[in-house]
Structure 1
Amino acid sequence: MVEEQKAFRLSRRLLLGAAVVGGAVLWGGNTVARLARGPSGPKNAGRIADIDGIALPLKPLANAPAYDPSLAWSAKGGDLNDASGLSRTPVYGVVEVSEEDHIAKALAFARANGLKVSLAAIRHSMGGHAFDDNALVLDLRKFNKVTVDAAARTMTVQPGARWHDIQNLLHPRFAVKAMQSTDIFSVGGSLSVNAHGMDHQAGSVAGSIRLMRVMLADGSVTTCSPTENNDLFRHVVGGYGLFGVVLEATLDIVDNTVYRTSREIIKSDDFPKFFAEVLEPNKDIGLFYGHLSTAPGNFLEDMIVYRYDKVADQPPAGQPAIGEPDGVGLKRVIINLAKWGSLFQELKWFTEKTLEPKFENCTVPRTSAMAEGEACLVTRNNPMHDSVPYLFNDLMDETDILHEYFIPRAAYVGFITEARKILRNQDLPVLNASVRIVHKEDVALTYAPEPAYSLVLYINQPTDADGSARMRALTRALIDVTIKHGGRFFLPYQLHYTAKELLASYPELPAFLAVKRQYDPTELFSSTFYRAIKALSGVA
């Protein structure tokens, strides 16, 4: 009887242990599957309802006009949101644009009925830049024609064209001159923020523009360029869609250069010296990316420098189509696990510095005409053709927010030291940090009035009120230290700044808004962002 009881207890322990192990395996499997899963739909977690205490929502239209049946409405009423998932805004309606005439008719309808007009495509901004309460929104994604003039080495593009599709069209002969470091954005969106990316020599997209055709608020069409109608040009580029609709832009294109890839780890504080001694004088380094550690042990202290050295003007014949990112599920799991604390942040840094080089995709065969030995060769289109699908997930109670801060080059080390302290002493997970090189930008609302470095951050937050409050506090702390060091913050992101911070970063803002009203006296073109910066600047 005693032996039977012992056996029973032993069996019960085994069963309990097996249940625990099985539950752990099941939980682990389900968790990994959840972290690896791509988005099932857009995040739509509500709205940050104020900027510096000023309420953003507007009352619904008292007497909304009837919808014009001649316009291609893809939505009548409803809400729109952006990449943050925290800008949900009720709109009057959305008109799908595929022809220039659609824009002219929509603007005429809005003028006749007292509606505001917002311009949207991919909606990767994060502060209501592409829509507004009660606005008629032009969805430009199908207004996306691209034509290439090989002899002139230019392309003429409509604003809804995505860089991803443009690269596929240009490859293998040509490549984009200037764009963001990822290809998910539209040309119109890039023009509206004056985007910059991996080519530290080419600079921002403004430097690649030959000519733009723009439809103004009154429906008239004009052209502008760096040498023609320059005042309008300087306000449309980096003007956040507030001065007119870009109908098409003619942009420079370049050879699809072959690069030898390499990487090395340096100290973040040594980066200015590295730039001055290695990057700046060497014109054969065509692309650059500086990736900072977000692991607690060396947080923002170590930097992986990715460099791309030119070895040939053109790839050999038979170059394959540009590939899409691989290992998406695994990368998504690693970046989502990094939200769980120090151990997983260290794991992420280990994979970045140790494992990634072993799986690098070398797309150009080594030949005696190009390189010897074990060099990894790629074309210019390969590193610039990254749609970062691993950054998008199905975790609906959280969101990942971009920040960017521009610092005069001489102030870099002092700024990074203080930014590191701020970021260490808060609890929102920093998922990615990188450094870019920025030239002086001669546009009306410039983020770089002098040559600068920029710090780009990707930070996770819960989508509840507490998460937004913590993000607001962090954003303001980072803006304040940026201003202290003579820098500026980038405006396409969340509306967490104060009036004092906005005007300290952009003292030319009142003049910018005055010119806006010269080109658009009735303020036809609007957005939540526009109303916010206007309110903070004290402009009635």
Structure 2
Amino acid sequence: MKRLINLVYYLLTKVVVLVKTLLVSAKRLLLHISRKKRYAIPFYGFIAYVLFVVALVKTSGDANYNKVLANKRINDVTVINPIQVNKIIKPHTNEELIQAIQATSGPISIGGGKFSMGGQTGYENSLHIDTREFNKVIKLDTVTKQITVQPGITWRDLQDVIDPYDLSVKIMQTYANFTVGGSLSVNCHGRYIGHGPIISSVVGLKIITASGEIITASRSENPDVFNAAVGGYGGVGVIAEATLQLTDNVKVERHTQLVKVEEYHQYFNNNIRNDKKVIFQNGDLYPPDYDYVNVVSWKESDKPLTDSERFTSKDENYWLEQNLVEVVSWGDFGKWVRRSVIDPINYSTEKVTWRNKEASYDVKELEPVSREDETYVLQEYFIPVNRINSFVPKMKAVFDKYEVNVMNVSLRHAYPDTASFLSWANEEVFAFVVYYKQGTDQASKETVKQWTLEMTDAILSENGTWYLPYQPHASAAQFEKGYPNSGKYFEVKNKLDPVHRFTNKLLDKYNPYVTNTLAKEREAINGYYRAEEQTILTVPEWYLVFNPKEYADFLQEGNNPSDFPFYASIDEYWRLYDRSMKLVSDAYPENEEYNTMLQVIGVSITMEYAGKMIYENTIGRVFSWFSNRSLSEEEKTIIQAHRAYSDFIYDTAWYEFEFMPWVGKVWTVSDASEANWLRKWERALFFTLEFTFKAGYAQLIEWAAKSSYETPVTDVYLLVAGEGPTEGMGIKIIKALDDKKIISIPRWGVFTSTLLELKNTNFEIIEIGGNDEIAVSVLVDNLKSVDFDQVDRLYESRVVTKPNAKRIVYLLQVKELLPFLSYAASNHIEVEHMYDY
């Protein structure tokens, strides 16, 4: 024993001599360095550290990961109304449609060319029916001049079929890119003189209802269904077939005349209204003065063609037209250029062409180069023909007040429509088609909403109405006044679709049958809706919860802190970041705020772990040689502090943790152990430095969070169906109706633990945070398999301290969440976390 003591004493003596020698050598080295250079050492040391951190960030991650989630976002041509749907189908037959409808129980939305501009073709988490491949010609009768088509066919493709027979569409929009089904659903009109909306040219329909039944509807058979389907925005079912009346293709000649706006009605009555040879007519009301109308009419003619093309080519280049539209958007100067230069040149030559050519315009000629910051949008107002002179000043006043960048107002005439329940022409009207430019930011959207509400009041003051395919800003009271027969429409809809599965943003806003439903109640709950992509993006964020737990476990198991895999932890964070960003890159709009946050916390943890990695593998490892495998009370307290921190951040923001009390505990703990005093002091000093720095950084983050962000929503909301759950365990029932409830569960770790307790409860989750998908991670042994069909395996992740274990991240439908949790429990699979957005 004495020999052993002497040996230890000898070794300690040598170590002391070695340390003394190193300190003396360092002092002599510093004396040889000039004072100015001496001051530069910390600076260059810091630069070296920063470069080391940059190198760690650049060399970490998984740049080769290439899986992306399917894009289930739909949008319209304006790109300002993105909607995340549950599933997109592209049917080709009635049977496919019926099967899809009957196989689901949730909402259904229908879209074609996506030229409606306010959410009329989509609804969150809906089964979205994209009709564009449901586009066959079923029958063409050249004797009766009728054609039967599926709804997804565009007018341009239909023209290809009928033109060889010298037939033409009787009524359609100016542009031919729209689908027939979409045109019927909005009850479109065009520049056709002597006609009203398209409903007057529709012979009959076949409609697939929410039950999967096919109903034949016309003016004589199921007339209420017919009147609800045309102009019904897909609310009563899917138009499966439409039979349309055609007319003859003839040559038409262009005529123009500049008319004062106050004389326009009289001019129209004298020269256009009763002239049977006029096929198309519109008047361009020039902004910003709105004082003159350029009347453009196309009359049937026997003159030789000046343009022999049968219709507009689908491959036309519109570079010139697009740039001229951009010029017109340059404020008042652009409007002057259009009125004084562009239009006089454009209309200076004689033009005789085919009716089909004039009816085959392509909307690409109006498409801007980019819609990222600014976009072009339409509105349309229907004003009784004898009220336009009193309406124009009101319209101008609203545009002037809000400095609306109106590029064109086109005037069209329409006869009354008393058939469609959502008729926009209960009397003879002039349509004011307003084409304007707006920003895509939220402030611009709010401004448009304000002036649209004021414009709607101006329209109603003239006994007019507005067209519904555009942004649905009008209030419910305004809607009821502008569309007095809407009650009949919703009665038919309620009869055919009693649970109102066929819906969209327009119908959802004005449907009186859903006013008191839980679906509407959601909108009044602050924080109900959460961005679905965040269920993926929170995975790397939550790794900064899982990894401290690994570190606490690692210490508690008696491991040397210097052996903790700091670099592997850094690498794993950036791997999860790269994978998450790649996964959501196509499926969701860019979440710039969250992305920035992930980068900031990623750099922060890299800096922290880089410093600890340097220290633990130099000074820390040297002092670990003196540990004699015995932990001091100080070291045990340090382990307790790390465990307390890792437990705390499962349910609370990390910067709210009380760091400094733990520093005090380390220095006041009574130590009667035989642990080495060198190791004890080294651990205590390093812990003090670490937690003191974190305490200061946490205070800064807390100040920034409280000054920059609103009070965080600490609950996540679920829409559920069935008997359970009941209140308790943090669950609150917010609203209950029939067999459905809106409930709230605290966020973060409690959300996971609560749902694990509820896994065998008799209820179904319909949505969480307004979303239909959620990410879940499980921890399993490397050899264990997970065989649950209803999940999408995103990737595996390393548990850096346990080579034999792995983390698997899944994406699944929320309705499958409880069955998955039950499956995991019965198969001894540890559910680590449910990522609650």
- 2:291 is matched by which residue type in structure 1? E
Q: Distance in 2 between matches of 1:330 and 1:83?
A: 20
Unaligned segments of structure 2, at least 5 residues: 1-68, 518-837
Distance across 2 between alignment mates of 1:513 and 1:349: 44
- 2:399 aligns to what? 423
Instruction: Give 1:456 deviation, angstroms.
Output: 0.7
1:167 matched to 2:144 = no
Match of 2:388, SS state, is helix
Name the structure 1 match of 2:713.
Answer: none
Write the deviation string for residues 88-129 of structure 1: whole angstroms up to 9, x where unpaired. Answer: 11111101111111101111112xxx2111111111111111
Matched, 1:109 2:103: yes
The answer to whether structure 1 residue 388 and structure 2 residue 363 are counterparts is: yes
CA 1:139/1:537 → structure 2, altered by over 3 Å: closer, same or farther? closer
Hey, what's the Cα distance between the residues in 2 that align with 1:538 and 1:404?
27
**Offset at 1:511?**
3.4
Match of 1:513? 490
Q: Any conservation in 1 of the 2:202–2:242 contact (CA below 8 Å)?
A: yes
The residue that corresponds to 2:433 in the other structure is: 456
- 1:332–1:293 distance in 2 versus 1, CA, 3 Å: same
After TM superposition, give the deviation of residue 537 of structure 1 in Å. Answer: 8.9
**Distance in 2 (alpha carbons) for counterparts of 1:451 and 1:248:** 29
Output the CA distance in 1 between the equivalents of 2:381 and 2:99. Answer: 39
How far residue 239 of structure 1 moved from its aligned partner, in angstroms, is: 0.5
1:385 alignment partner, SS class: coil
Distance 2:512 2:206 in 1: 30
Q: Is the 8 A contact 1:499 1:536 kept in 2?
A: no
Residue 222 (1) aligns with residue 215 (2): yes
Q: How far apart, in 2, do the equivalents of 1:300 and 1:164 lie? A: 33
In structure 2, the CA distance between the partners of 1:76 and 1:526, relative to structure 1 (3 Å rule), is farther
For 1:415, what is the secondary structure of its paired residue?
Answer: helix
In the alignment, the residues of structure 1 paired with residue 425 and residue 274 of structure 2 have an alpha-carbon distance, to the nearest angstrom, of: 21
1:227 Cα deviation after fit: 2.1
Does 2:122 match 1:131? Answer: yes
The residue number in structure 2 matching 1:293 is 286
Partner Cα separation in structure 2 for residue 264 and residue 382 of structure 1? 22
Between the aligned partners of 2:516 and 2:170, the Cα distance in structure 1 is: 38
Give, in angstroms, the shift of residue 475 of structure 1.
0.9
Residue number in structure 1 paired with 2:295: 305
Deviations, residues 415-442 of structure 1 (Å, cap 9, x unaligned):
1121122212322210111111111112
Amino acid of the structure 2 residue aligned with 1:513: F
Q: Provide the rounded CA distance (Å) in 2 between the counterparts of 1:319 and 1:97.
A: 37
Mapped to 2, the partners of 1:349 and 1:283 lie a distance apart of: 29
Structure-2 residue corresponding to 1:323: 312
- What is the rounded CA distance, in whole Å, between the counterparts of 2:252 and 2:153 in structure 1? 26
Which structure ranks higher in relative contact order (CA pairs < 8 Å, sequence separation ≥ 6)? 1
- Aligned equivalent of 2:254: 261
Q: Could you say which structure has the higher helix fraction? A: 2
> Which aligned runs of 4 or more in structure 1 are off by greater than 6 angstroms?
none
> What does 1:33-112 align with in structure 2 at a 5 Å threshold?
78-110=72-104
Q: Distance in 1 between matches of 2:503 and 2:196?
A: 28
Identify the match of residue 501 of structure 1 among 478, 483, 489.
478
SS at match of 1:381: helix
How far apart are the structure 2 equivalents of 1:507 and 1:448? Answer: 11
Q: Name the SS of the counterpart of 1:275 in structure 2.
A: helix
> Taking structure 1 as the reference length, what is the TM-score of the superposition?
0.78
Alignment partners' CA distance in 2, 1:534 and 1:210: 28
- Contact kept, 8 Å, 2:304 with 2:352, in 1: the verdict is no
Q: Output the CA distance in 2 between the equivalents of 1:401 and 1:377.
A: 31
Matched, 1:272 2:265: yes
| C-alpha separation in 2, matches of 1:125 and 1:80 | 12
Give a deviation string over 1:441-490, Cα, whole Å, max 9, x none: 12111111111111110111110111111111121121110000101111
Aligned position for 1:525: 502
Shift of 1:289: 1.4
Q: Note the alpha carbon deviations across 1:273-307, whole angstroms, 9 max, x for none.
A: 0121111121111111111112x3xx221111111
Aligned partners of 1:150 and 1:240: how far apart in 2?
30
Answer whether contact 1:510 1:537 (CA < 8 A) is retained. no
Checking the alignment, whether the CA contact within 8 Å between 2:407 and 2:437 is kept in structure 1 is yes
SS at match of 1:141: helix
Between the aligned partners of 1:269 and 1:170, the Cα distance in structure 2 is 41
Aligned-partner residue type, residue 118 of structure 1: S
User: How far is the alpha carbon of 1:241 from its aligned partner?
Assistant: 0.3
> Amino acid of the residue matched to residue 168 of structure 1?
D
Q: Which amino acid in 2 is paired with 1:335? A: V
Quote the Cα distance in structure 2 between the aligned partners of 1:257 and 1:171.
Answer: 11
1:354 equivalent to 2:344? Answer: yes
Q: Which residue of 2 aligns with 1:335?
A: 325
Q: Is 2:414 the partner of 1:438?
A: yes
Which residue pairs with 2:239 in the alignment? 246
Letter in 2 for 1:152: T
Alpha-carbon distance between aligned partners in 1 of 2:323 and 2:308, rounded to the nearest angstrom: 32
Taking the aligned partners of 1:466 and 1:206, their CA distance within structure 2 comes to 38
User: Can you give the 5+ residue segments of structure 1 that lack an aligned partner in the other structure?
Assistant: 1-74, 361-374
- 8 Å CA contact 2:408–2:435 kept in 1: the answer is yes
- What SS does structure 2 have at the residue aligned with 1:308? strand
Q: Residues 23-38 of structure 1 correspond to what in structure 2 (within 5 A)? A: none
The question of whether the paired residues in 2 share the 8 Å contact of 1:168 and 1:321 is answered with no
CA distance in 2, matches of 1:201, 1:115: 43
The answer to whether structure 1 residue 473 and structure 2 residue 465 are counterparts is no
1:499–1:537 Cα contact (<8 Å) kept: no
**Aligned-pair distance for 1:329?**
1.4
Counterpart position of 2:373: 397
1:503–1:537 Cα contact (<8 Å) kept? no
2:354 to 375, 379, 387: 379
Q: Deviations over 1:222-281 (max 9, x none)?
A: 211122211110000000001011111110111101112111111122111012111112
Which amino acid counterpart does residue 311 of structure 2 have in structure 1? Answer: I
How far apart, in 1, do the equivalents of 2:389 and 2:114 lie? 34
Counterpart in the other structure of 1:408: 384
Aligned partners of 1:177 and 1:202 also within 8 Å: no
Distance 1:293 1:324, change over 3 A: farther
Aligned partners of 1:539 and 1:407: how far apart in 2? 34
Letter in 1 for 2:405: P
In 1, Cα distance between equivalents of 2:487 and 2:70: 35
Count of equivalent residues:
443
User: Quick check: 1:163–1:184 contact (8 Å CA) kept in 2?
Assistant: yes
Deviation, structure 1 residue 535: 6.2
Aligned-pair Cα RMSD in Å: 2.1
| Conservation of the 8 A alpha-carbon contact between 1:291 and 1:304 | yes
- Letter of the 1:106 partner, please give it: A
CA distance in 2, matches of 1:352, 1:196: 27
1:8 is matched with which residue? Answer: none
State the alpha-carbon separation in 1 of the partners of residues 516 and 226 from structure 2: 23
In the alignment, the residues of structure 1 paired with residue 505 and residue 200 of structure 2 have an alpha-carbon distance, to the nearest angstrom, of: 28
For residues 135 and 99 of structure 1, what CA distance do their matches in structure 2 show? 20
